[in-house]
Structure 1
Amino acid sequence: MKTRDILITVLVMAIWGFNFSMIKLGVNDVDPLLVAASRFLFATFPIIFFIRKPNVPWRYLLGYGIVFGTGIWGMASTSITFGLSSGMAAVLLQIDVITTVFVGVWLYKETISSRMLSGILIACVGIIVSIIYTNGNVSLAGTAFILVSAMCWPIAGVIMKQSGCKSPFAFNVWGMLFAPVPLVALSILINGFDVLEITYQHWNSNTWISVLFQAYPTTVFGYWVWNKMILQYPMSQLAPLTLLTTVFALLSGYILFGESLSNAQWISCSAFLIGIALVIIKPKNKAVNLTQPIKSPH
């Protein structure tokens, strides 16, 4: 990769890592599903008027919007509300690498190499130790929500893959058109219509900062850069850089909220990320088949 492209990709990883702290900033005062809905509303408009609709059936865009909006980021935001620190949410969301591998085996008859299997086992041990030896930064409910989010990542990838779309950025923008309504509907279903009035009353400057950061630097700029890079470079070069997102998430969580890991979690999270690296980093002279063409950890 060119030095300039490496630097701008690392910048995006920093933005995506910082994004988890921005989610926490917003969901401290406002329902997480409505924060996520606002994110996608602002990320979609007005940019959608300048991006041509991809030549795919509407059902793929609808399905992607629901899975990407509610399944991934609605659940990830909710996990922080239910007790996960922003840093641990970023760490545990990397489980999506493992779920993507299993979906590839199930749907596309891909094989798991001994290297990948070792990485998965190491990562799973790291997850278990991180949960057991929590210092208050992990909860069972939060973990359950982030697991749902991680399981939805490969589903979103499958929807895009099946659509045959050649323009992932346009697909993402038009798919986000269908994200806000299901998120709002789910919030009302769970909390009643009063949640709308309560959200209005508690919406403050922190919420605005959270939503606008998630919408523009994270989603619009981040995806624009990421999709430019995947058109220029093989995923085997880009995938390892996504691990930096977790590093930046842990760092920003510490700086903004004083979040920290227990001693056991430092070791287990390191083991987890080493395991994930074994799964996603291309072995020498071997090709990598990723089922998720725009997989991103933000």
Structure 2
Amino acid sequence: MPRSHVALACLVAIFWGLNFLAIHASLEQFPPLFLVALRFTLMALPALLFVPRPQVPLRWLVGYGLGFGTLQFLGLYSGMAAGFPTGLASLVLQASAPFTVLLGAVLLRERLTARRALGIGVAVAGLVLVGISRGGAGAWWPFWLVVLGAFGWAIGNISSRLAAPPRPLELTMWMAIVPPIPMLALSLLLEGPRRITDSLADSLTAQAVPAWIGLAYTIVFGTIVGSGIWVWLMTKHPAGVVAPFSMLVPVVGITAAWLVLGESPHLLEIIGGALVVGGVLWSGRLVAARGAADPAGPVDVGDPGASAHAVEPAAR
């Protein structure tokens, strides 16, 4: 990847790392499933009114909306609402990177080098340590909800790559039309109308201002700006090259949660987090070095355009 693209990937990691504080603030006011529906409803309305429909196959638009928009945040918000720590959630969600690399190898025929496989294996071992630590504290269920969210993110990564939108921001905005209806239905079924109406009634008080600020940050920087840049990078480079940069998100997220919320991870969680970040940096170093030497891109993963067309030649 060119240095400018690396800088953009790091900027997205900062946006997304701070996004966990914003989500925490919003969950203090709204139930999790309804919050997902509210978030994407507020995005879908301007998208339908002012943003042209992206020129991509409908199946990849829906796949991106179901993966990135619906499944990811259903798992993440539910896990955090169930008590999973904010900073640690930013780490566990990065299981999307190994999920994306594996899906890219299976579905997009992207080459999985031995170095990358070793790095991803180390990262997965780190996630296992985090899971063991949280399971010992009686928190298996919230942990697996966040892992489910990570798998949804990976599905979104692959769908956006196969969509290859000429204008990524249009795809980012239009995928917001997918989550509201299923998430609102789930919210009504599982959280109940009373809980929803109570949260909305209380949202007009001064105490709810941080929740609305958090929701605004999540929409603007967490989704529109951050995801727009991310989708654009996914169209320019193989999924296995871009996805590992998401491992920088927990560095920001855990640090921010420690400074703002006073969260302190346990020793086993710190070791697991170090393995996660270290494994991804190890697997990506060779790619970055070769990409810098060859302006055409990283040579060990193949041509990103070729890999996408190999799966679905009639996609565009």
What range describes the TM-score normalised by the shorter chain of this pair?
A: 0.7 to 0.9
Residue of structure 2 aligned with 1:251, choices 246, 250, 255: 255
Amino acid at match of 2:273: C
Could you say which residue in structure 2 is the equivalent of 1:26?
Answer: 26
Alpha-carbon spacing, 1:137–1:221, altered in 2? closer, same or farther (3 Å): farther
Could you say which residue in structure 2 is the equivalent of 1:115?
Answer: 115
Alpha-carbon spacing, 1:280–1:28, altered in 2? closer, same or farther (3 Å): farther
Q: Which has the higher helix share?
A: 2
Q: Does 1:193 align with 2:205?
A: no
Could you say which residue in structure 1 is the equivalent of 2:76?
Answer: 76
Could you say which residue in structure 2 is the equivalent of 1:52?
Answer: 52
* Contact 2:56-2:163 within 8 A present in 1 as well: yes
* Contact 1:75-1:149 within 8 A present in 2 as well: yes
Residue of structure 1 aligned with 2:213, choices 204, 209, 215: 209
* Contact 2:44-2:177 within 8 A present in 1 as well: yes
Pairwise CA RMSD? 3.1
1:280-291 equivalences under 5 Å are: 280-283=284-287, 284-285=289-290, 286-288=299-301
Give SS of 2:222's match: helix
**Residues of 1 paired with 2:35 and 2:215: CA distance?**
7
**Residues of 2 paired with 1:195 and 1:235: CA distance?**
40
> Which deviates more, 115-124 or 225-234?
225-234
Could you say which residue in structure 2 is the equivalent of 1:94?
Answer: 94
* Contact 1:37-1:69 within 8 A present in 2 as well: no
**Residues of 2 paired with 1:209 and 1:231: CA distance?**
31
> Which deviates more, 9-18 or 159-168?
159-168
Shift of 1:243: 3.0
Q: Does 1:222 align with 2:226?
A: yes
* Contact 2:60-2:160 within 8 A present in 1 as well: yes
Amino-acid identity (%): 24
Could you say which residue in structure 1 is the equivalent of 2:177?
Answer: 177
**Residues of 2 paired with 1:225 and 1:254: CA distance?**
27
Could you say which residue in structure 2 is the equivalent of 1:167?
Answer: 167
Could you say which residue in structure 2 is the equivalent of 1:265?
Answer: 269
> Which deviates more, 29-38 or 54-63?
54-63
Amino acid at match of 1:140: W
> Which deviates more, 68-77 or 126-135?
126-135
**Residues of 1 paired with 2:107 and 2:58: CA distance?**
23
Q: TM-score, normalised by structure 1?
A: 0.83
Q: TM-score, normalised by structure 2?
A: 0.79
Amino acid at match of 2:123: A
**Residues of 2 paired with 1:270 and 1:91: CA distance?**
10
Report Cα offsets for 1:135-163 as digits up to 9, x if no partner: 99882111111111111223223333444
**Residues of 2 paired with 1:239 and 1:99: CA distance?**
9
* Contact 1:87-1:249 within 8 A present in 2 as well: yes
**Residues of 2 paired with 1:243 and 1:6: CA distance?**
13
**Residues of 1 paired with 2:116 and 2:236: CA distance?**
26
* Contact 2:247-2:276 within 8 A present in 1 as well: no
Report Cα offsets for 1:57-92 as digits up to 9, x if no partner: 444433432322220122111111122111111111
Alpha-carbon spacing, 1:230–1:150, altered in 2? closer, same or farther (3 Å): closer
> Which deviates more, 103-112 or 71-80?
103-112
Give SS of 1:165's match: coil
**Residues of 2 paired with 1:137 and 1:259: CA distance?**
15
Could you say which residue in structure 2 is the equivalent of 1:150?
Answer: 150
* Contact 1:95-1:147 within 8 A present in 2 as well: yes
**Residues of 2 paired with 1:157 and 1:223: CA distance?**
10
1:30-45 equivalences under 5 Å are: 30-45=30-45
**Residues of 2 paired with 1:96 and 1:233: CA distance?**
17
Alpha-carbon spacing, 1:215–1:73, altered in 2? closer, same or farther (3 Å): same
Shift of 1:178: 1.8
**Residues of 2 paired with 1:163 and 1:231: CA distance?**
8
Instruction: Point out where structure 1 has 5 or more consecutive residues left out of the alignment.
Output: 293-298
Alpha-carbon spacing, 1:100–1:29, altered in 2? closer, same or farther (3 Å): same
**Residues of 2 paired with 1:43 and 1:198: CA distance?**
23
**Residues of 1 paired with 2:123 and 2:238: CA distance?**
24
